[in-house]
Structure formats: C-alpha cells, structure tokens
Chain A
Amino acid sequence: DIQLTQSPPSLSASVGDRVTMTCRTSQSIGIYLHWYQQKPGRAPKVLINAASELESGVPSRFSGGGSGTDFTLTISSLELEDFATYFCQQSHSGPITFGQGTRLEIK
C-alpha cells in the first residue's frame, strides 16, 4: 500500500497568514493526489484534484502543487472559515489511501 505522510500534524496561524502544508508519498504517484478539507462534525470536502486542479466553487486562495512523491497545499491568505483539518489522498494505485491529516488551528 502507498503510505501518505502529512506534515506538520498541526499548524497554528492567524487570519491573513500564508500557510503551506505537505503530503509525502511512499512511492511516486505522478499527480494522482487530491486534497480535502474537513470541519468538525462534517464530512470532508474535496478542494483540489490531480495535485493542482481547483474544484469548482473553491476559493482561489487555495492552491496545490507537486508531483512524484512531494505535494503541497497552500492557502495564500487565511480566512476564519479555513481553520479545519486537511487530508491528502492518493489514487495512483489500490487500495486508495489517505494521509493522517494536518490540523490548522487559530493562533
């Protein structure tokens, strides 16, 4: 199985900050990497697919990058609604696997 390691596990930041979190995979997966946002008590919501493609309706302050084994999710200017947990997911090969998440907290 492909392992996904997200870092940092948690991150404290303020409204207006630029933040970047990473997802590293145990083997090369091209751009078969997707990012989700989950708020407490809610289902995850996909933000970015194929490493860098923004889902419809997702604000442009979110961006994704990377390929191979190293990927990033960047939020250019944090808004209050962005404080949540973020998960990456690989779809290169089965079984589909997720990272353990990065929890973004208000400083």
Chain B
Amino acid sequence: EALLEESGGGLAQPGGSLRLACSVSGITFDDYAMHWVRQAPGKGLEWVAGLSWSGSSIAYADSVEGRFTISRDNAKNSLYLHMDSLRPDDTAVYYCVKGLGGSYTPHTYFDKWGQGALVTVSS
C-alpha cells in the first residue's frame, strides 16, 4: 500500500522561503511522475507542479512559476517543493500526489495522496 508523508510545513513571512518534503513508501517511487496539489483554507484544489520519474520533465502552474521549484531524489524515495518569495495567497494545505505513469503529462489523475502539510504565509 502506497504511503505518502509530507513534512516541512509551517509559518513563513511574506517574501520568505520554505521547503516541503514528501517521503514515499509502498511503491516503486522511480516508476512514477509526482505532483504537488494545494488547497487554500475552505477553497478548492489547485495543481501546483509536477515532474517525471527522472525529474527531467517539469511543469508549474503560472501562479508559482519562477518562485517554486519541484525536485525529487529517487535514491531517497522523496519529493520536494522549494518555495521562495512566498505570498499570503500561497497559504494552503500542500498535498504530495502520485500520477499514473512515469512521464510528466497532464493526461493523468492522482490515485494516491499524502495527508497534506499546512503552509501559512503571514507577518
């Protein structure tokens, strides 16, 4: 059974940085593309970023392009999201999610989710 566990959430100041990590077990991590999806308090879901099994193909939502960096370490079965220039509207629960195949493609849905990590951006 796949298990995805996020860590690294917390409080950051506007303009600050934070790094989220997601530890994955129960699957062959480097068989799959991985993504981050976020949910602002009381709001809907927003896809943030995704990358292929190798990390060579990456895509970002316009709202985070140039500020956030997604990466992975297959040797550690881990996914990361480095967030810079944080803004109050980045406040959300961030979910680590698994795609269906190894390539980054938008032709996917998310069949495994972590429990989420809360990021709060406030002064």
Chain A residues proximal to chain B, CB less than 8 Å: 32, 34, 36, 42-46, 49, 55, 87, 89, 91-101
Chain B residues proximal to chain A, CB less than 8 Å: 35, 43-47, 50, 59, 61-62, 95, 106-111, 113-116
Distance in Å: Cβ of A92 to nearest Cβ of chain B:
7
- What are some 11 contacts across the A-B interface (CB < 8 A)? A87-B44, A94-B59, A95-B47, A95-B59, A95-B61, A96-B35, A96-B50, A96-B106, A96-B108, A98-B45, A100-B44
The answer to whether A91 and B44 touch (CB under 8 A), given A43-B113, A43-B114, A43-B116, is: no
Q: Which of B45, B62, B106, B107 contacts A44 (CB 8 A)?
A: B45
Q: Which of B45, B62, B106 contacts A92 (CB 8 A)?
A: B106
Q: Is the CB of B111 within 8 A of A94?
A: no
Complex CA distance for A87 and B6, rounded to whole angstroms: 22
Distance in Å: Cβ of A90 to nearest Cβ of chain B:
9
Q: Is the CB of B113 within 8 A of A44?
A: yes
Distance in Å: Cβ of A100 to nearest Cβ of chain B:
4
Chain A residues with Cβ below 8 Å from B108 are 91, 96
Most chain A CB neighbours (cut-off 10 Å) among B61, B107, B110, B116:
B110
Q: Which of A32, A43, A98 contacts B46 (CB 8 A)?
A: A98
The answer to whether A98 and B59 touch (CB under 8 A), given A46-B111, A89-B109, A91-B107, is: no
